Structure 1
Amino acid sequence: MTATSDPNPEVSDEQQQRSEIYTYEAPWYIYAMNWSVRRDKKYRLAIASLLEQYPNRLQIVQLDDSNGEIRSDPNLSFDHPYPATKTIFIPDKDCQKPDLLATSSDFLRIWRILDDGSRVDLKSLLNGNKNSEFCGPLTSFDWNEAEPKRIGTSSIDTTCTIWDIEKETVDTQLIAHDKEVYDIAWGGVGVFASVSADGSVRVFDLRDKEHSTIIYESSEPDSPLVRLGWNKQDPRYMATIIMDSAKVVVLDIRFPTLPVVELRRHQASVNAVAWAPHSSCHICTAGDDSQALIWDLSSMGQPVEGGLDPILAYTAGAEIEQLQWSSSQPDWVAIAFSTKLQILRQVLLIQVHNTMRHYQSSHNNNHRFRVCHWYYIYDRQSICNSDLNSLRETLNHPSTLEQMKSQ
C-alpha cells in the first residue's frame, strides 16, 4: 500500500514540497510505531497492528521524498505474536551496529533487518521469567541510547527487567512497584524511571538497586499512570499521563511530589507524549480528542493566568493512539490514528513562535495562524526565548507575517 501527500491549494508548489502531510493507510488498526534513527534510512518507520488474535503484523514503511509516497516493502512485513505493545529501532545514528528492531508483547524480541533489505529475521527471544517458559505480558520497554546493549522492560507482574541484549542475559530484575508497571524510560546510562497502576513515578539508579526515589504520586485515588516521557535535552524534566485523563503532568525531578506544570487543553484522554529531540522546552501530546498539541514550556514554573496554552495544534481524522517525534529529523512528527499513519512536517513551528513577539505588541486578542497544516496559537505571554537569529530576519519580514495572517 502506498500513500501520497495531502494537497493544500493555499500554497505554492515549492511551499507544498517543503510543508506536507503524508498519509499511509495500513490494512489494520495501528498501535505501536517508531522512527528509525539511522542516517542512511531517512523517513523510515515501523508500525505494528492491534488485532484481537494471536497472529499480528508488523510493517516497515518508508517515505520516498522524491515523489511523496509512503511505501511498504513486502519483504519487511512479517507476523508478530500478539499485538506489539511497543517497537523501537536500535539507537544507532551512525550505522555502526546491525540494523535491529525490538518489540514487546509476551516476550522481548529482537529482530534483524538484513543489509540488503531482503527480509527480517528473529535474532533473540528474551524471557525474564527464570522459573517458567511463560512470563507476565510486557507493557512497554525503552532502549538505552547512551548504552545500546541495554534494554529495560516493564511488566504487569510489577517488575522492571534490564537486559544485556548482546549477551542475551538479564542484568537486573527489580520489583519496581506495588501494581502493574505500565511504562519505563531511560534517563542516562544507569538511571531509569517507571510508572505504574499504583499511581507513582519512581526513579531507579542501577548503582543502588535496593532503593528508588518516588518523584510523584497521583493525588487522585485509583489513578494509574500509563505513559512516561523523559526529556533527553534536559533530564531534570519528565512527563506522565494519567489513565483516562485529559491532562499531562510535567515533573521536575529536583522537586519531587509536586508537578511543575499540568497541561490541560486536551478535551479527552491523552494517549501519547513526546519531548522534542532538539529543544529542551518543547513537548508534543496527543489523545482521543484527535488533537496533537505542541507546547512551549520555557516559562513553566511561572504563574500563567488560566493555565498554559499550546503553541501549535493539529487535528487528525480520529482519536490519536500513537505519537513519535523524529530524533534524526526533528522537522517531522508521526501520528497514528485508526488505520492511518501520518507524517507531519512542522517546519518553522518553533521559529514562528519566537517571531510573533514583534507582531503581538499591537494586538491584544489571541490569534491563530495556519503554518504548514499546523495551527499556531499564541497570546501575549507565550514567548519562546530560543536563539533563532538566523531565521528571524526572514520570518520578521512584513510580507511573511501578512501571508500567515491571511491563511
Structure 2
Amino acid sequence: MEHSSHESLLKHPNSITYESPFPLYALAISHSPYRVAVGSFLETYNNRVDILSFDPDALTLKPHHPPLSFDHPYPPTKLMFHPSNPNLLASSGDFLRLWDLRDHSIEPLSVLNNSKSSDFCAPLTSFDWNEVEPRRIGTSSIDTTCTVWDIDKGVVETQLIAHDKEVYDIAWGEARVFASVSADGSVRIFDLRDKEHSTIIYESPQPDTPLLRLAWNKQDLRYMATILMDSNKVVILDIRSPTMPVAELERHAASVNAIAWAPQSSRHICSAGDDTQALIWELPTVAGPNGIDPMSMYSAGSEINQLQWSAAVPDWIAVAFSNKMQLLKV
C-alpha cells in the first residue's frame, strides 16, 4: 500500500467516537432509527448495555435521549438487533435473552434457557439471528452444543452436539443451514434437514488449535472466513473445496480478534486485532504468489476487540477498543 494513502487513512476524518465509563466488547447496529447497542466487559456479575443514537448525516453518536440502558448479568458475549425490527434486541451470556426497546425504557421479553436440570447453564459464547427466518436464533456454547431456538414460541427447535470441545461461534448461511467453529479446531456445516450429519470443511493445521470466530459471506455463500487463536491470519474458505483455504490474509502484526464481510460486496472483508489495526481487504479472483495486501487500514488507540460491519449502515464499520466504540466511514 502506498505511504500517502496510509497517512490519510490514519487521520481518518470520517470517524465518530463514543467513550464509555466501562471497557466495551459487544456491539450491534440497528436499521433506522439508527441505534447502536454497546455492552460492557467487566469481570463481575453486574454489566450493562447502553443504547446510542447514531445520525450518519450529522455525524453524531451519543447516548439515546431519553437514556436507554439495562443491566446485564455477566458481560454480553454478543448483541444483535432483529434483522428487520429495530426495537428487538438479543444478547448472549449465561442465557439467550430478548429485550424490547421502547421509547422510554427497555423491557426484558424472555430468558431462553435449555438446561433441564437446574437454573444454571453452560455459558453461551455467541449466537446468530437467521435473516431468512428471523424466528430462528442459533446459539453456541462451551458445552460443545449448538442450539436452535424458535423465539416466537420460546422453544428449542433442535440441539446438536456440534463439536468435541467448546463451540466458539456460529453463523447462518441459509434458512436451515448453519456453521460453527470450535476449540477442536474445525469448521463444521449443519443442515437442519439432516441432523445426524455434519460436514467438516476446515481443520486447524496444528491439531487442536482453537478457531475463535466465523463469518459467512452473505453476498456469496460459497465463502466463509475464520480466525485461529493467537494467530495473525484470516483464513478464507470456499465450501466447494474443503480443507484447503482459498486465501490466507497475513498482514496483521499480532493476533486477529474479529472479522466481518462487507454487507454489500462479496469481495471485501474487514479484520481487526491486537496490533490496533482494522484492515479492509479486497479478495482477488486469483491470489498472487506474495499474498494479499489490504486495500486500506485504520489505526485505533489500542487493541481492537470487536468489529461489526452492519447491513443497517453499510458505509460504516464499528470497532470496540478499550472503553471506546468508534464508527469508521468506509
TM tier relative to shorter chain: over 0.9
1:302-325, Cα deviation, whole Å (9 max, x unpaired): 241221111011111100011111
CA displacement at 1:330 relative to structure 2: 1.3
Residue in structure 2 matching 1:75, options 59, 64, 67: 67
Residue in structure 1 matching 2:118, options 132, 136, 140: 132
Moved over 6 A (4+): none
Which residue of 2 is the match for residue 322 of structure 1? 306
CA displacement at 1:19 relative to structure 2: 5.5
Residue in structure 2 matching 1:113, options 101, 104, 126: 101
Given that 1:31 and 1:47 are in contact with CA atoms closer than 8 Å, whether structure 2 keeps it comes out as yes
Aligned to 2:67, the other structure's residue is in SS state strand
Residue in structure 1 matching 2:210, options 224, 227, 230: 224
Residue in structure 2 matching 1:60, options 51, 57, 60: 51
Which residue of 2 is the match for residue 272 of structure 1? 258
Give the AA of the match of 2:100: R
1:151-195, Cα deviation, whole Å (9 max, x unpaired): 000000000000000000000000000000000000010000000
1:261-319, Cα deviation, whole Å (9 max, x unpaired): 000000000000000000001000000000000111132xx241221111011111100
Which residue of 2 is the match for residue 201 of structure 1? 187
Which residue of 2 is the match for residue 30 of structure 1? 24
Residue in structure 1 matching 2:40, options 45, 49, 66: 49
1:175 paired with 2:161, answer: yes
**Structure 2 CA distance, aligned partners of 1:305 and 1:255?**
20
Given that 2:247 and 2:287 are in contact with CA atoms closer than 8 Å, whether structure 1 keeps it comes out as no
Which residue of 2 is the match for residue 233 of structure 1? 219
TM-score by length of 2: 0.94
**Structure 2 CA distance, aligned partners of 1:99 and 1:150?**
17
Structure 1: state its 5+ residue gaps: 1-9, 11-15, 347-407
1:122 paired with 2:108, answer: yes
CA displacement at 1:35 relative to structure 2: 1.1
1:298 paired with 2:284, answer: yes
Aligned to 1:134, the other structure's residue is in SS state coil
Tell which structure's C-alpha radius of gyration is larger.
Answer: 1
CA displacement at 1:328 relative to structure 2: 2.2
1:244-271, Cα deviation, whole Å (9 max, x unpaired): 1100111000011110100000000000
Residue in structure 2 matching 1:84, options 58, 76, 93: 76
1:21 paired with 2:19, answer: no
**Structure 2 CA distance, aligned partners of 1:323 and 1:303?**
25
1:156 paired with 2:150, answer: no
Q: Which moved more, 1:220-229 or 1:172-181?
A: 220-229
Residue in structure 2 matching 1:245, options 231, 235, 239: 231
**Structure 1 CA distance, aligned partners of 2:275 and 2:190?**
34
Aligned to 2:68, the other structure's residue is in SS state strand
Given that 1:75 and 1:120 are in contact with CA atoms closer than 8 Å, whether structure 2 keeps it comes out as no
**Structure 1 CA distance, aligned partners of 2:232 and 2:63?**
34
Structure 2: state its 5+ residue gaps: 1-7
Change (3 A) 1:216 1:339: same
CA displacement at 1:326 relative to structure 2: 2.2
Given that 2:144 and 2:162 are in contact with CA atoms closer than 8 Å, whether structure 1 keeps it comes out as yes
**Structure 1 CA distance, aligned partners of 2:205 and 2:228?**
11
**Structure 2 CA distance, aligned partners of 1:59 and 1:41?**
15
Which residue of 1 is the match for residue 5 of structure 2? none
**Structure 1 CA distance, aligned partners of 2:89 and 2:119?**
23
Which residue of 2 is the match for residue 104 of structure 1? 92
1:16-53, Cα deviation, whole Å (9 max, x unpaired): 9x9611011011000100111x2x312x2110000011
What does residue range 369-384 of structure 1 map to in structure 2 within 5 Å? none
Which residue of 2 is the match for residue 212 of structure 1? 198
**Structure 1 CA distance, aligned partners of 2:135 and 2:293?**
39
**Structure 2 CA distance, aligned partners of 1:213 and 1:33?**
30
Q: Tell me which protein shows more helix as a share of its residues.
A: 1
Aligned to 2:298, the other structure's residue is in SS state strand
Residue in structure 2 matching 1:312, options 284, 291, 296: 296
Q: Which moved more, 1:151-160 or 1:221-230?
A: 221-230
Given that 1:64 and 1:71 are in contact with CA atoms closer than 8 Å, whether structure 2 keeps it comes out as no
**Structure 2 CA distance, aligned partners of 1:303 and 1:322?**
27
**Structure 1 CA distance, aligned partners of 2:110 and 2:155?**
11
Aligned to 1:187, the other structure's residue is in SS state strand
CA displacement at 1:83 relative to structure 2: 0.4
1:106-141, Cα deviation, whole Å (9 max, x unpaired): 000000011xx2100000000011222211000000
Which residue of 2 is the match for residue 13 of structure 1? none
**Structure 2 CA distance, aligned partners of 1:120 and 1:265?**
42
**Structure 2 CA distance, aligned partners of 1:253 and 1:68?**
39
Aligned to 2:240, the other structure's residue is in SS state coil
Given that 2:181 and 2:211 are in contact with CA atoms closer than 8 Å, whether structure 1 keeps it comes out as yes
